[in-house]
């Protein structure tokens, strides 16, 4: 059922329940990363989208999410703005300050599997001043283990 008592608290809880319910089956099929990404992506993207508010850019104006959550949850919006404007390394998103813990690059070609991306073979460390919004919002960052 899609009826929520409180979307802001119910949605993340439901995502966590799905992960718990299907984690064992995903591990057996070697799909635990796929499950994690499937469940985690909306728990990140949806709140960011709902708190974004109106924007004006090169492609025109965007009036903001119809929920107007950026107005209803002004304190959360303010905290998110502060967090996203901090350097990513050493922030609450990634408390480590080691530049070697993350890499940041643009992929020239994604037609093959990630194991064949040259950017992963010789990663460039994420600079210490790279803002969190450049890592959290675009899908150009990748972590090297």
Q: Which of 39, 69, 99 is the last residue of a domain?
A: 69
**Residue 17's pLDDT is what?**
93
**Residue 140's pLDDT is what?**
39
Angle (CA) 25-33-139 rounded to 5° is: 150
The residues facing 134 across adjacent strands are none
Region class of 94: left (phi > 0), else alpha (psi between -120 and 50), else beta: beta
Q: Are residues 1 and 43 in the same domain?
A: yes
Q: Are residues 90 and 142 in the same domain?
A: yes
Q: Are residues 1 and 62 in the same domain?
A: yes
Q: How many structural domains compose the chain?
A: 2
**Residue 26's pLDDT is what?**
94
Residue 79 lies in a domain: no
Q: Are residues 130 and 95 in the same domain?
A: yes
Q: Which of 69, 96, 127 is the last residue of a domain?
A: 69
Residue 12 lies in a domain: yes
Residue 14 lies in a domain: yes
104-141 in b/e form (b: 16+ CB < 10 A) is bbeeeeeeeeeeebebeeebeebeeebbbbbbbeeeeb
- The range of the structural domain enclosing residue 61 comes to 1-69
Closest CA to 44 of 143, 135, 109, 144: 135
Closest CA to 102 of 89, 84, 92, 86: 89
Residue 80 lies in a domain: no
Residue 77 lies in a domain: no
**Residue 99's pLDDT is what?**
67
pTM: 0.66
Give the rounded distance of the alpha carbon of 109 from its chain centre: 22
Q: Are residues 65 and 105 in the same domain?
A: no
Q: What is the pLDDT along the chain (145 residues), one digit of tens a residue?
A: 577 777 777 888 899 999 999 999 999 999 998 998 899 888 888 888 888 888 876 777 888 888 898 898 899 889 988 988 999 888 888 887 776 677 777 778 888 888 888 887 777 788 888 888 887 654 434 443 3
Residue 137 lies in a domain: yes
Strand-strand pairing, 60-62 and 141-142 = unpaired
**Residue 114's pLDDT is what?**
80
- d(C-alpha 141, C-alpha 51), whole Å: 22
């Amino acid at each position: 059922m899609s009826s929520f008592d409180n979307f802001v608290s119910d949605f993340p809880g439901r995502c966590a329940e799905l992960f718990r319910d299907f984690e064992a089956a995903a591990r057996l099929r070697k799909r635990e990363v796929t499950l994690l990404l499937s469940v985690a992506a909306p728990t990140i993207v949806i709140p960011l989208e709902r708190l974004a508010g109106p924007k004006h850019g090169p492609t025109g104006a965007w009036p903001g999410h119809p929920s107007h959550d950026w107005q209803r949850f002004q304190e959360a919006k303010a905290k998110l703005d502060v967090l996203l404007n901090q350097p990513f390394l050493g922030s609450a998103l990634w408390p480590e300050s080691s530049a070697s813990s993350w890499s940041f690059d643009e992929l020239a070609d994604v037609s093959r599997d990630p194991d064949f991306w040259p950017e992963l073979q010789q990663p460039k460390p994420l600079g210490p001043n790279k803002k969190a919004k450049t890592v959290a919002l675009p899908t150009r960052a990748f972590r090297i283990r």
